[in-house]
Amino acid sequence: MIMIKDENYFDNCATTKPFTETLKVFGEISENEYFNASSLSDESTKVFNKLTDARKTIIHALNGSSGNIIFTASGTEADNLAVRSIKSSAHCNIVSTEGEHPAIYNTLLSLKNKGVEIRYCPLKSDGSLNTDILSEYADGNTAAGVFMHVNNETGGISDIKKAAGIIRNKNPHALLICDGVQAFGKIPVNLDAWDIDIYTVSSHKIHAPKGVGALWAKRNVNLSPLIFGGGQENNLRSGTENTAGICAFAKAVEMLEPVNILHEKYTLYKNQLSTTFSDIPDMIPLCGEAPNIYSVAFKGIKSEVIMHMLENRYGYIVGIGSACSSKHRTNRVIKAAGLPVSYHEGLIRISFSPFNTAESVKGLGQALKNCIINLREK
């Protein structure tokens, strides 16, 4: 079995390797500051204050001084908390897309099964929300708009500010929810300047340990808790907080590279791959504007076969779509983006991190090209 080098791991949309510094914070707090933030001892108060500082760090990074942070156990839980807080009725509708992450898509389906109308606005070819026709899907009975900021499979960036304006124009009281898990730390986020109500993020997508998500909500938004108990997180998410994980999350946020530097570096990586793949026939790039995601679909080849060959023969790991639904055969995202049926099973997603190098990107490109040539010769 080939040992995978850190620089050869290209499935960073699925999860990231934690930074040494975030693991250090996690370990130190787990060992030395393990006290319960809800208790009344002096040590517990210190831990509670660390949680407060972590909230401030994330709010600052989101440019979200108009809202508060609720910590959860994952981005999926944060998305569920957001969608379950929509005040729906038999006469209302919710506008979303077929391209949402399963945490949003399947939660909306559960509401649909209870009689709520879900309207799906089409995607553009890069997987982003088609705001040009969004107004056709919203009306005065629209209770919420629920949209992903960066598509996790194609890298398409949706114009969330424009989408919010369109929905508000139809119903000023509609709730605007945005899944920001793939955007946070990769592209600029300015929640105070956008008219949205809820934004969700996740720790393990930005090089912190797994086990922490966060929901940012405007102060006037009424959330409906999913979990009841001791009333932690302002009575919105009961259960003892994961202090070590939350502080490690905040440390990762502090370590984020400026998005303009990431954009410059990752754009070079994407251009390098495009050059390498330029003479491969029956291939469709699905590259949105997110700098860290390069997706491409191959005709007549199953992505699982390509992925395993890349890993076992060449020592590279890539993604084949959303890690949370990659075991399901049908890829509704690329179908919604209008990709021809013959390409639906051949999606490869390459997502970058600071551990990748120009040399490892070059090696991946050539290895993937070799895989396609070899598979088509069989």
* Digit-coded pLDDT (tens) for 10-47: 999 999 999 999 999 999 999 999 999 999 999 999 99
Q: Note the pLDDT of residue 377.
A: 84
Domain membership of residue 211 (yes or no) is yes
Q: Please state whether beta strands 9-10 and 317-318 pair in parallel, antiparallel, or not at all (unpaired).
A: parallel
Residues 262 and 242 in one domain: no
Same-domain pairing of 320 and 207: no
What pLDDT is recorded for position 321? 66
Assess whether 269 and 247 both reside in one domain.
no
CATH number at residue 270: 3.90.1150.10
pTM for the whole thing?
Answer: 0.95
Q: What H or E segment, with its residue span, contains residue 119?
A: strand 117-120
* Co-location of 184 and 68 in the same domain: yes
Q: Which residue segment(s) compose the domain that 181 sits in?
A: 20-254
Residues facing residue 295 across a β-bridge: 349
The domain boundary, picked from 191, 219, 254, lies at 254
- Asked whether 318 and 11 are in contact (CB, 8 A), the reply is yes
State how far the Cα of 15 lies from the Cα of 21, in Å rounded to an integer.
Answer: 17
- Residues 129 and 189 occupy one common structural domain: yes
Asked whether residue 1 is assigned to any structural domain, the reply reads no
For residues 250 and 350, state if they share a domain.
Answer: no
Sheet holding 347-351, edge to edge: 283-285, 293-298, 347-351
| Residue of 210, 293, 203, 218 lying closest to 256 (CA atoms) | 203
- Does one domain contain both 86 and 42? yes
Q: Determine the pLDDT at residue 330.
A: 57
Same-domain check for residues 248 and 338: no
State how many domains the chain has.
2
Q: Which residue among 254, 277, 305 closes a domain?
A: 254
Positions of the chain with pLDDT under 70: 1, 321-330, 378
Give the pLDDT score at 154.
94
Shared domain for 214 and 291, answered yes or no, is: no
Closest to 249 measured CA to CA, from 56, 93, 92 = 56
How much is the pLDDT for 332?
84
Residue 327's pLDDT is what? 54
In degrees, rounded to 5, the angle at the alpha carbon of residue 10 between the alpha carbons of residues 7 and 16 is 85
pLDDT at 190: 97
Residue 192, domain member (yes or no): yes
| CATH number for the domain that contains residue 246 | 3.40.640.10
pLDDT score at 93: 97
Domain check: are 197 and 103 in the same one?
Answer: yes
